[in-house]
């Protein structure tokens, strides 16, 4: 299962989808992917930055477009100088 975590005051909200099932044509899995993509776009529109994270030892990679094949996406809120 692929995951997208959106950081917020509640900790993080998790959205999950099954890439394999979506590719095989499972309607529910495809809906989950579309919903994840919609949430991703909404967060990006609010100024959030998204990162693809695979393993602890591998550096995170910034992504501008939703990647349904990513193992884990983490969306961090907009940052500003303190």
Partner 1 sequence: MDPLLLLALFAAIVMAIGVVWLLFVSRLPYRYPLGNRHPAFARYYVNKQEAEQRAESLLKGLLNSDQYNHLVRKGYIEVQSGMYPYRTYRIPRHRGSVEVYEMGRLVMSLCVQPTEAVPDADVVVMHKLMIEGNEREYLRRANYFDRQTDPFW
Residues found near partner 1 in the complex (CB under 8 A): 5, 7-12, 47, 49, 51, 53, 56-57, 59-62, 74, 76-82
Specify the residue, 30 or 63, whose C-beta has the smaller distance to partner 1.
63
- To partner 1, the closest distance from the beta carbon of 26 in angstroms equals 27
Q: What is the nearest approach in angstroms of partner 1 to the Cβ of residue 47?
A: 8
How many whole angstroms separate alpha carbon 5 and alpha carbon 3? 6
The torsion region of residue 11 among left (phi > 0), alpha (psi -120 to 50) and beta comes to left
């Amino acid at each position: 299962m692929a995951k997208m975590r959106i950081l917020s005051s509640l900790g993080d909200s998790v959205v999950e989808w099954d890439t394999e099932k979506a590719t095989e044509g499972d309607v529910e899995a495809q809906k989950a992917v579309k919903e994840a993509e919609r949430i991703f776009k909404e967060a990006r529109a609010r100024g959030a930055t998204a990162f693809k994270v695979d393993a602890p030892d591998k550096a995170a990679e910034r992504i501008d477009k939703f990647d349904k094949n990513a193992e884990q996406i983490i969306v961090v809120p907009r940052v500003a100088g303190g």
